[in-house]
Structure 1
Protein backbone atom coordinates (compact mmCIF):
# COMPACT_ATOMS: atom_id res chain seq x y z
CA UNK A 1 0.00 0.00 0.00
CA UNK A 2 1.23 3.52 -0.80
CA UNK A 3 2.48 5.72 2.04
CA UNK A 4 -0.38 7.36 3.88
CA UNK A 5 -0.78 11.14 4.06
CA UNK A 6 0.61 12.53 7.31
CA UNK A 7 -2.58 14.41 8.16
CA UNK A 8 -5.71 12.59 9.25
CA UNK A 9 -8.62 12.18 6.83
CA UNK A 10 -11.20 14.97 6.97
CA UNK A 11 -14.96 14.79 6.76
CA UNK A 12 -16.91 17.98 6.21
CA UNK A 13 -20.39 17.32 7.54
CA UNK A 14 -23.54 19.32 8.21
CA UNK A 15 -26.35 18.95 10.71
CA UNK A 16 -28.60 20.44 8.04
CA UNK A 17 -27.94 17.94 5.25
CA UNK A 18 -29.82 14.63 4.93
CA UNK A 19 -27.03 13.30 2.72
CA UNK A 20 -24.48 14.12 5.40
CA UNK A 21 -26.67 12.45 8.05
CA UNK A 22 -26.93 9.25 6.01
CA UNK A 23 -23.24 9.26 5.06
CA UNK A 24 -22.08 9.62 8.67
CA UNK A 25 -24.47 6.92 9.80
CA UNK A 26 -23.28 4.51 7.11
CA UNK A 27 -19.65 5.40 7.80
CA UNK A 28 -20.04 4.56 11.49
CA UNK A 29 -21.79 1.30 10.62
CA UNK A 30 -18.74 0.29 8.59
CA UNK A 31 -16.06 1.88 10.79
CA UNK A 32 -17.41 2.30 14.34
CA UNK A 33 -14.30 4.16 15.54
CA UNK A 34 -14.29 6.57 12.59
CA UNK A 35 -14.79 9.55 14.92
CA UNK A 36 -11.42 8.79 16.50
CA UNK A 37 -9.63 8.48 13.16
CA UNK A 38 -11.19 11.21 11.00
CA UNK A 39 -11.33 14.96 11.63
CA UNK A 40 -14.99 15.97 11.49
CA UNK A 41 -15.40 19.61 10.42
CA UNK A 42 -18.80 21.36 10.49
CA UNK A 43 -20.11 22.89 7.28
CA UNK A 44 -22.86 25.45 7.79
CA UNK A 45 -24.22 28.55 6.12
CA UNK A 46 -22.83 31.52 8.08
CA UNK A 47 -25.13 34.22 9.41
CA UNK A 48 -24.32 37.88 8.81
CA UNK A 49 -21.91 38.10 11.74
CA UNK A 50 -19.99 34.94 10.90
CA UNK A 51 -20.00 35.87 7.23
CA UNK A 52 -18.36 39.20 8.04
CA UNK A 53 -15.71 37.48 10.16
CA UNK A 54 -15.07 35.00 7.36
CA UNK A 55 -14.70 37.81 4.81
CA UNK A 56 -12.27 39.65 7.10
CA UNK A 57 -10.03 36.59 6.93
CA UNK A 58 -10.22 36.44 3.14
CA UNK A 59 -12.67 33.55 2.95
CA UNK A 60 -16.09 33.02 1.45
CA UNK A 61 -18.82 30.41 1.48
CA UNK A 62 -18.70 28.28 -1.67
CA UNK A 63 -22.16 26.75 -1.39
CA UNK A 64 -24.88 28.02 -3.76
CA UNK A 65 -28.54 27.81 -2.76
CA UNK A 66 -30.52 25.27 -4.77
CA UNK A 67 -33.53 25.95 -6.95
CA UNK A 68 -37.07 25.00 -5.95
CA UNK A 69 -37.07 22.23 -8.56
CA UNK A 70 -33.88 20.72 -7.14
CA UNK A 71 -35.21 21.02 -3.60
CA UNK A 72 -38.38 19.12 -4.51
CA UNK A 73 -36.31 16.41 -6.18
CA UNK A 74 -34.12 16.06 -3.09
CA UNK A 75 -37.18 15.69 -0.87
CA UNK A 76 -38.16 12.57 -2.78
CA UNK A 77 -34.63 11.34 -3.34
CA UNK A 78 -33.65 11.44 0.31
CA UNK A 79 -36.79 9.60 1.39
CA UNK A 80 -36.05 6.90 -1.19
CA UNK A 81 -32.42 6.63 -0.05
CA UNK A 82 -33.33 6.50 3.63
CA UNK A 83 -35.88 3.77 2.99
CA UNK A 84 -33.28 1.82 1.05
CA UNK A 85 -30.88 1.98 4.00
CA UNK A 86 -33.64 1.06 6.43
CA UNK A 87 -33.52 4.45 8.19
CA UNK A 88 -36.58 6.15 9.61
CA UNK A 89 -36.80 9.70 8.28
CA UNK A 90 -39.13 12.66 8.68
CA UNK A 91 -38.30 15.80 6.72
CA UNK A 92 -38.07 18.87 9.02
CA UNK A 93 -39.46 22.31 8.28
CA UNK A 94 -36.93 25.03 9.12
CA UNK A 95 -38.30 28.45 10.00
CA UNK A 96 -35.69 31.23 9.55
CA UNK A 97 -32.85 28.89 10.56
CA UNK A 98 -29.60 30.19 12.05
CA UNK A 99 -27.18 27.32 11.66
CA UNK A 100 -24.63 28.66 14.14
CA UNK A 101 -26.93 27.55 16.97
CA UNK A 102 -26.62 23.76 16.50
CA UNK A 103 -23.18 23.72 14.86
CA UNK A 104 -21.38 25.89 17.40
CA UNK A 105 -23.07 23.87 20.14
CA UNK A 106 -21.43 20.82 18.55
CA UNK A 107 -18.03 22.45 19.03
CA UNK A 108 -18.69 23.13 22.72
CA UNK A 109 -20.01 19.59 23.12
CA UNK A 110 -16.51 18.46 22.17
CA UNK A 111 -15.05 20.50 25.02
CA UNK A 112 -17.50 18.91 27.43
CA UNK A 113 -16.81 15.37 26.27
CA UNK A 114 -20.36 14.82 24.99
CA UNK A 115 -19.93 15.44 21.28
CA UNK A 116 -21.10 12.02 20.11
CA UNK A 117 -24.12 12.09 22.44
CA UNK A 118 -24.96 15.58 21.20
CA UNK A 119 -24.70 14.55 17.56
CA UNK A 120 -26.93 11.50 18.05
CA UNK A 121 -29.56 13.48 19.95
CA UNK A 122 -29.70 16.34 17.44
CA UNK A 123 -29.74 14.07 14.39
CA UNK A 124 -32.53 11.97 15.87
CA UNK A 125 -34.50 15.15 16.52
CA UNK A 126 -33.95 16.55 13.05
CA UNK A 127 -34.12 13.54 10.75
CA UNK A 128 -36.16 10.98 12.69
CA UNK A 129 -38.70 13.34 14.29
CA UNK A 130 -38.59 16.30 11.87
CA UNK A 131 -37.84 18.93 14.53
CA UNK A 132 -36.41 22.41 13.89
CA UNK A 133 -33.03 22.25 15.66
CA UNK A 134 -32.41 25.95 14.93
CA UNK A 135 -35.29 26.88 17.22
CA UNK A 136 -33.72 27.56 20.65
CA UNK A 137 -36.77 26.22 22.48
CA UNK A 138 -36.69 23.00 20.46
CA UNK A 139 -32.95 22.56 20.92
CA UNK A 140 -33.30 23.19 24.65
CA UNK A 141 -35.81 20.36 24.88
CA UNK A 142 -33.59 18.03 22.83
CA UNK A 143 -30.61 18.72 25.10
CA UNK A 144 -32.62 18.31 28.29
CA UNK A 145 -34.20 15.06 27.14
CA UNK A 146 -30.74 13.69 26.27
CA UNK A 147 -29.32 14.66 29.66
CA UNK A 148 -26.81 17.07 28.09
CA UNK A 149 -25.58 20.35 29.67
CA UNK A 150 -28.20 22.74 28.32
CA UNK A 151 -26.90 26.23 29.04
CA UNK A 152 -23.28 25.82 27.83
CA UNK A 153 -24.48 24.25 24.58
CA UNK A 154 -27.41 26.56 23.98
CA UNK A 155 -25.22 29.62 24.58
CA UNK A 156 -22.38 28.56 22.30
CA UNK A 157 -23.36 30.91 19.47
CA UNK A 158 -23.21 33.90 21.83
CA UNK A 159 -19.60 33.19 22.84
CA UNK A 160 -17.17 35.21 20.65
CA UNK A 161 -14.39 32.66 21.19
CA UNK A 162 -16.60 29.77 20.07
CA UNK A 163 -17.85 31.77 17.10
CA UNK A 164 -14.22 32.38 16.11
CA UNK A 165 -13.65 28.64 16.19
CA UNK A 166 -16.65 28.25 13.93
CA UNK A 167 -15.04 30.67 11.50
CA UNK A 168 -11.90 28.50 11.68
CA UNK A 169 -14.05 25.66 10.37
CA UNK A 170 -15.49 27.87 7.64
CA UNK A 171 -11.97 28.90 6.63
CA UNK A 172 -10.89 25.26 6.49
CA UNK A 173 -13.86 24.64 4.21
CA UNK A 174 -12.87 27.61 2.05
CA UNK A 175 -9.21 26.57 1.84
CA UNK A 176 -10.15 23.00 0.90
CA UNK A 177 -12.57 24.23 -1.80
CA UNK A 178 -15.50 22.46 -0.17
CA UNK A 179 -18.79 23.31 -1.87
CA UNK A 180 -21.15 20.72 -0.42
CA UNK A 181 -21.49 17.82 2.01
CA UNK A 182 -20.64 15.16 2.79
CA UNK A 183 -17.12 15.91 1.57
CA UNK A 184 -14.24 13.57 2.33
CA UNK A 185 -10.65 14.71 1.91
CA UNK A 186 -7.46 12.82 2.60
CA UNK A 187 -4.25 14.17 1.14
CA UNK A 188 -4.90 14.69 -2.55
CA UNK A 189 -7.97 12.44 -2.52
CA UNK A 190 -11.40 14.09 -2.53
CA UNK A 191 -14.86 12.53 -2.50
CA UNK A 192 -18.09 14.55 -2.57
CA UNK A 193 -21.51 13.17 -1.88
CA UNK A 194 -23.21 10.23 -0.23
CA UNK A 195 -22.68 8.18 -3.39
CA UNK A 196 -18.89 8.58 -3.02
CA UNK A 197 -18.77 7.08 0.46
CA UNK A 198 -17.89 3.62 -0.82
CA UNK A 199 -15.00 5.05 -2.86
CA UNK A 200 -13.69 6.80 0.25
CA UNK A 201 -14.01 3.58 2.25
CA UNK A 202 -12.04 1.70 -0.38
CA UNK A 203 -9.19 4.09 0.36
CA UNK A 204 -9.74 4.20 4.12
CA UNK A 205 -10.34 0.61 5.14
CA UNK A 206 -6.96 -0.86 4.10
CA UNK A 207 -5.29 1.96 6.06
CA UNK A 208 -7.26 1.42 9.28
CA UNK A 209 -4.57 -0.58 11.10
CA UNK A 210 -2.00 2.18 10.56
CA UNK A 211 -4.47 4.94 11.42
CA UNK A 212 -5.40 3.14 14.64
CA UNK A 213 -1.73 2.70 15.49
CA UNK A 214 -1.19 6.42 14.96
CA UNK A 215 -4.16 7.17 17.17
CA UNK A 216 -2.81 4.92 19.92
CA UNK A 217 0.46 6.85 19.90
CA UNK A 218 -1.09 10.33 19.89
CA UNK A 219 -4.16 9.75 22.07
CA UNK A 220 -4.15 11.60 25.43
CA UNK A 221 -3.53 9.47 28.49
CA UNK A 222 -6.76 10.64 30.14
CA UNK A 223 -9.70 12.93 29.55
CA UNK A 224 -8.75 16.11 31.43
CA UNK A 225 -12.36 17.32 31.58
CA UNK A 226 -13.86 14.12 32.95
CA UNK A 227 -15.53 14.47 36.30
CA UNK A 228 -15.44 18.25 36.52
CA UNK A 229 -18.63 19.95 37.66
CA UNK A 230 -20.72 21.65 34.99
CA UNK A 231 -19.92 25.27 36.05
CA UNK A 232 -16.21 24.51 35.66
CA UNK A 233 -16.73 22.74 32.36
CA UNK A 234 -18.67 25.70 31.02
CA UNK A 235 -15.75 27.99 31.74
CA UNK A 236 -13.03 25.81 30.24
CA UNK A 237 -11.79 26.80 26.79
CA UNK A 238 -10.50 23.35 25.92
CA UNK A 239 -9.09 22.47 22.53
CA UNK A 240 -11.35 20.39 20.32
CA UNK A 241 -9.30 17.73 18.56
CA UNK A 242 -12.01 16.85 16.09
CA UNK A 243 -11.41 19.43 13.39
CA UNK A 244 -8.86 21.63 11.80
CA UNK A 245 -8.63 24.80 13.78
CA UNK A 246 -10.38 23.13 16.69
CA UNK A 247 -13.80 23.33 15.12
CA UNK A 248 -15.46 20.26 14.18
Structure 2
Protein backbone atom coordinates (compact mmCIF):
# COMPACT_ATOMS: atom_id res chain seq x y z
CA UNK A 1 0.00 0.00 0.00
CA UNK A 2 1.30 3.42 -0.91
CA UNK A 3 2.49 5.55 1.95
CA UNK A 4 0.10 8.26 3.06
CA UNK A 5 1.18 11.88 2.86
CA UNK A 6 -1.40 13.51 5.11
CA UNK A 7 -0.69 13.82 8.83
CA UNK A 8 -2.31 10.93 10.66
CA UNK A 9 -2.76 9.17 13.92
CA UNK A 10 -3.14 5.54 14.80
CA UNK A 11 -5.65 4.86 17.55
CA UNK A 12 -6.89 1.71 19.24
CA UNK A 13 -10.26 1.23 20.85
CA UNK A 14 -8.48 -1.15 23.20
CA UNK A 15 -6.01 1.43 24.54
CA UNK A 16 -6.76 3.79 27.43
CA UNK A 17 -3.94 6.02 26.20
CA UNK A 18 -5.65 6.41 22.82
CA UNK A 19 -8.84 7.35 24.65
CA UNK A 20 -7.03 9.98 26.71
CA UNK A 21 -5.14 11.35 23.69
CA UNK A 22 -8.43 11.69 21.82
CA UNK A 23 -9.99 13.55 24.74
CA UNK A 24 -6.96 15.85 24.99
CA UNK A 25 -7.18 16.75 21.30
CA UNK A 26 -10.95 17.18 21.51
CA UNK A 27 -10.62 19.64 24.36
CA UNK A 28 -7.61 21.59 23.08
CA UNK A 29 -7.39 21.28 19.31
CA UNK A 30 -10.52 19.72 17.80
CA UNK A 31 -9.54 21.21 14.44
CA UNK A 32 -6.52 18.92 14.40
CA UNK A 33 -8.74 15.84 14.63
CA UNK A 34 -10.67 17.13 11.63
CA UNK A 35 -7.53 17.67 9.54
CA UNK A 36 -5.70 14.36 9.97
CA UNK A 37 -6.32 10.79 8.87
CA UNK A 38 -7.58 8.35 11.50
CA UNK A 39 -6.20 4.81 11.26
CA UNK A 40 -7.01 1.94 13.63
CA UNK A 41 -4.63 -0.54 15.20
CA UNK A 42 -5.50 -3.69 17.11
CA UNK A 43 -4.19 -7.13 17.96
CA UNK A 44 -5.38 -9.37 15.11
CA UNK A 45 -7.15 -12.67 15.63
CA UNK A 46 -6.00 -15.82 13.86
CA UNK A 47 -7.88 -15.09 10.64
CA UNK A 48 -6.49 -11.58 10.26
CA UNK A 49 -3.05 -12.79 11.28
CA UNK A 50 -3.13 -15.29 8.42
CA UNK A 51 -3.99 -12.51 5.97
CA UNK A 52 -1.04 -10.49 7.26
CA UNK A 53 1.28 -13.49 7.10
CA UNK A 54 0.30 -14.03 3.47
CA UNK A 55 1.63 -10.53 2.80
CA UNK A 56 4.78 -11.12 4.83
CA UNK A 57 3.72 -8.65 7.53
CA UNK A 58 4.66 -9.15 11.18
CA UNK A 59 3.23 -6.78 13.78
CA UNK A 60 5.28 -5.74 16.85
CA UNK A 61 3.06 -7.52 19.37
CA UNK A 62 4.48 -8.91 22.60
CA UNK A 63 2.87 -10.33 25.71
CA UNK A 64 2.26 -7.95 28.60
CA UNK A 65 3.61 -8.81 32.01
CA UNK A 66 1.29 -8.87 35.02
CA UNK A 67 3.29 -6.04 36.60
CA UNK A 68 2.88 -3.84 33.55
CA UNK A 69 -0.83 -4.58 33.40
CA UNK A 70 -1.26 -3.34 36.97
CA UNK A 71 0.92 -0.32 36.23
CA UNK A 72 -1.25 0.67 33.25
CA UNK A 73 -4.37 0.41 35.38
CA UNK A 74 -2.80 2.70 38.00
CA UNK A 75 -1.38 5.07 35.39
CA UNK A 76 -4.70 5.35 33.57
CA UNK A 77 -6.55 6.25 36.74
CA UNK A 78 -3.88 8.83 37.56
CA UNK A 79 -4.01 10.42 34.10
CA UNK A 80 -7.81 10.35 34.07
CA UNK A 81 -7.91 12.03 37.47
CA UNK A 82 -5.60 14.78 36.24
CA UNK A 83 -8.17 15.44 33.51
CA UNK A 84 -11.10 15.53 35.90
CA UNK A 85 -12.47 12.17 34.74
CA UNK A 86 -13.99 10.50 37.78
CA UNK A 87 -16.33 8.04 36.06
CA UNK A 88 -13.66 5.81 34.52
CA UNK A 89 -14.23 2.06 34.61
CA UNK A 90 -11.76 -0.73 33.90
CA UNK A 91 -13.33 -3.25 31.51
CA UNK A 92 -12.72 -6.96 31.92
CA UNK A 93 -11.64 -8.42 28.58
CA UNK A 94 -12.11 -12.17 28.45
CA UNK A 95 -11.08 -13.66 25.11
CA UNK A 96 -11.61 -10.35 23.27
CA UNK A 97 -11.87 -10.23 19.51
CA UNK A 98 -10.79 -6.74 18.53
CA UNK A 99 -12.01 -7.19 14.96
CA UNK A 100 -15.55 -6.84 16.31
CA UNK A 101 -15.08 -3.18 17.21
CA UNK A 102 -12.37 -2.11 14.77
CA UNK A 103 -13.96 -3.58 11.66
CA UNK A 104 -17.22 -2.01 12.83
CA UNK A 105 -15.29 1.28 12.81
CA UNK A 106 -14.48 0.72 9.13
CA UNK A 107 -18.17 0.15 8.41
CA UNK A 108 -19.06 3.32 10.31
CA UNK A 109 -16.32 5.24 8.50
CA UNK A 110 -17.86 4.14 5.20
CA UNK A 111 -20.97 6.02 6.31
CA UNK A 112 -18.97 9.10 7.31
CA UNK A 113 -19.46 8.37 11.01
CA UNK A 114 -16.15 6.83 11.99
CA UNK A 115 -15.26 9.64 14.40
CA UNK A 116 -18.65 9.43 16.09
CA UNK A 117 -18.23 5.69 16.43
CA UNK A 118 -14.87 6.13 18.16
CA UNK A 119 -16.41 8.52 20.69
CA UNK A 120 -19.30 6.16 21.39
CA UNK A 121 -17.12 3.05 21.61
CA UNK A 122 -14.65 4.75 23.94
CA UNK A 123 -17.46 5.95 26.17
CA UNK A 124 -18.96 2.45 26.25
CA UNK A 125 -15.60 0.89 27.14
CA UNK A 126 -14.00 3.35 29.51
CA UNK A 127 -16.97 5.06 31.13
CA UNK A 128 -19.68 2.42 31.02
CA UNK A 129 -17.54 -0.71 31.40
CA UNK A 130 -19.15 -2.44 28.42
CA UNK A 131 -17.52 -5.17 26.35
CA UNK A 132 -16.95 -3.77 22.86
CA UNK A 133 -15.96 -7.23 21.64
CA UNK A 134 -19.61 -8.21 22.09
CA UNK A 135 -21.54 -7.78 18.81
CA UNK A 136 -24.67 -6.86 20.80
CA UNK A 137 -22.82 -3.91 22.33
CA UNK A 138 -21.69 -2.82 18.85
CA UNK A 139 -25.28 -3.13 17.63
CA UNK A 140 -26.43 -0.85 20.46
CA UNK A 141 -23.72 1.68 19.62
CA UNK A 142 -24.77 1.60 15.96
CA UNK A 143 -28.42 2.11 16.86
CA UNK A 144 -27.48 5.07 19.04
CA UNK A 145 -25.72 6.63 16.06
CA UNK A 146 -28.53 5.88 13.66
CA UNK A 147 -26.39 3.39 11.72
CA UNK A 148 -27.17 -0.10 10.45
CA UNK A 149 -26.87 -2.22 13.58
CA UNK A 150 -26.65 -5.51 11.68
CA UNK A 151 -23.95 -4.18 9.36
CA UNK A 152 -21.73 -2.96 12.17
CA UNK A 153 -22.29 -5.83 14.59
CA UNK A 154 -21.41 -8.42 11.92
CA UNK A 155 -18.53 -6.49 10.34
CA UNK A 156 -16.03 -9.01 11.74
CA UNK A 157 -17.67 -11.70 9.62
CA UNK A 158 -17.41 -9.72 6.38
CA UNK A 159 -14.50 -11.02 4.22
CA UNK A 160 -14.16 -7.68 2.43
CA UNK A 161 -13.88 -5.74 5.67
CA UNK A 162 -11.41 -8.34 6.94
CA UNK A 163 -9.13 -7.69 3.99
CA UNK A 164 -9.42 -3.94 4.40
CA UNK A 165 -8.64 -4.26 8.09
CA UNK A 166 -5.58 -6.37 7.37
CA UNK A 167 -4.43 -3.77 4.85
CA UNK A 168 -4.69 -1.05 7.51
CA UNK A 169 -2.66 -3.13 9.94
CA UNK A 170 -0.07 -3.74 7.24
CA UNK A 171 0.09 0.00 6.67
CA UNK A 172 0.81 0.52 10.35
CA UNK A 173 3.79 -1.80 10.04
CA UNK A 174 5.04 0.08 6.99
CA UNK A 175 4.70 3.32 8.98
CA UNK A 176 6.90 1.92 11.73
CA UNK A 177 4.20 1.82 14.39
CA UNK A 178 5.19 0.13 17.65
CA UNK A 179 2.60 1.56 20.02
CA UNK A 180 -0.50 3.72 20.19
CA UNK A 181 -1.45 6.48 20.12
CA UNK A 182 0.98 7.08 17.29
CA UNK A 183 1.07 10.36 15.37
CA UNK A 184 2.87 11.08 12.11
CA UNK A 185 3.51 14.40 10.41
CA UNK A 186 5.81 14.06 7.43
CA UNK A 187 8.92 12.30 8.71
CA UNK A 188 8.19 13.22 12.32
CA UNK A 189 6.67 10.56 14.55
CA UNK A 190 5.20 10.97 18.01
CA UNK A 191 4.29 8.10 20.36
CA UNK A 192 2.12 8.24 23.44
CA UNK A 193 -0.43 10.46 25.10
CA UNK A 194 2.37 12.72 26.36
CA UNK A 195 3.36 13.49 22.74
CA UNK A 196 0.04 15.05 21.75
CA UNK A 197 1.27 18.62 22.31
CA UNK A 198 4.53 18.19 20.32
CA UNK A 199 2.54 16.66 17.46
CA UNK A 200 0.16 19.60 17.46
CA UNK A 201 3.05 22.06 17.46
CA UNK A 202 4.65 20.21 14.57
CA UNK A 203 1.39 20.20 12.65
CA UNK A 204 0.64 23.87 13.25
CA UNK A 205 4.21 25.01 12.66
CA UNK A 206 4.62 26.35 16.19
CA UNK A 207 7.67 24.40 17.33
CA UNK A 208 9.32 25.92 20.37
CA UNK A 209 12.24 28.26 19.61
CA UNK A 210 15.64 26.68 19.82
CA UNK A 211 14.44 23.16 19.03
CA UNK A 212 17.53 21.47 17.58
CA UNK A 213 17.42 19.66 14.29
CA UNK A 214 18.21 15.99 14.76
CA UNK A 215 19.44 13.85 11.92
CA UNK A 216 17.57 10.55 11.83
CA UNK A 217 19.90 7.64 12.61
CA UNK A 218 20.16 4.58 10.44
CA UNK A 219 18.60 1.78 12.57
CA UNK A 220 20.58 -0.86 10.71
CA UNK A 221 23.86 0.84 11.62
CA UNK A 222 23.41 0.16 15.35
CA UNK A 223 21.20 -2.90 15.25
CA UNK A 224 23.57 -4.52 17.74
CA UNK A 225 22.31 -2.15 20.44
CA UNK A 226 18.66 -3.17 20.07
CA UNK A 227 17.20 -5.72 22.48
CA UNK A 228 16.56 -9.06 20.85
CA UNK A 229 13.17 -9.63 22.47
CA UNK A 230 11.02 -8.87 25.48
CA UNK A 231 8.17 -6.61 26.48
CA UNK A 232 9.14 -3.40 24.72
CA UNK A 233 5.74 -1.77 25.03
CA UNK A 234 2.23 -2.33 26.26
CA UNK A 235 0.41 -5.38 24.95
CA UNK A 236 -0.32 -4.99 21.30
CA UNK A 237 1.95 -1.99 21.23
CA UNK A 238 -0.61 0.11 23.06
CA UNK A 239 1.42 2.94 24.49
Deviation at 1:152, TM superposition (A): 1.1
Q: Distance in 2 between matches of 1:111 and 1:40?
A: 13
Task: State the alpha-carbon separation in 2 of the partners of residues 145 and 173 from structure 1.
Answer: 30
Alignment match of 1:9 (pick from 7, 26, 33): 7
Q: Contact 1:62–1:177 at 8 Å: present in 2 too? A: no
Measured after TM superposition, the shift of residue 62 of structure 1 is 0.8
Uncovered stretches (5+) of structure 1, i.e. residues with no partner = 1-5, 208-248
The alignment status of 1:47 with 2:45, answered yes or no, reads yes
Q: Scaled by the length of structure 2, what TM-score is found?
A: 0.80
Counterpart Cα distance in 2 of 1:205 and 1:81: 25
What is the CA deviation profile of residues 195-245 of structure 1, one whole-angstrom value per residue up to 9, with x for unaligned ones?
1111111212237xxxxxxxxxxxxxxxxxxxxxxxxxxxxxxxxxxxxxx
* Residue segments in structure 2 that go unaligned for 5+ positions in a row: 207-239
> Which of residues 79, 96, 108 is equivalent to 1:81?
79
Superposition RMSD in Å? 1.5
Matched, 1:118 2:130: no
Q: Is the 8 A contact 1:95 1:132 kept in 2?
A: no
Residue correspondences, number: 202
Q: Distance in 2 between matches of 1:186 and 1:205?
A: 10
Contact 1:63–1:180, Cα closer than 8 Å, also in 2? no
Alignment of 1:29-178 (within 5 A): 29-87=27-85, 88-178=87-177
- SS of the aligned residue for 1:141 comes to helix
Matched residue of 1:33: which SS?
A: helix
Give the drift of 1:146: 4.0
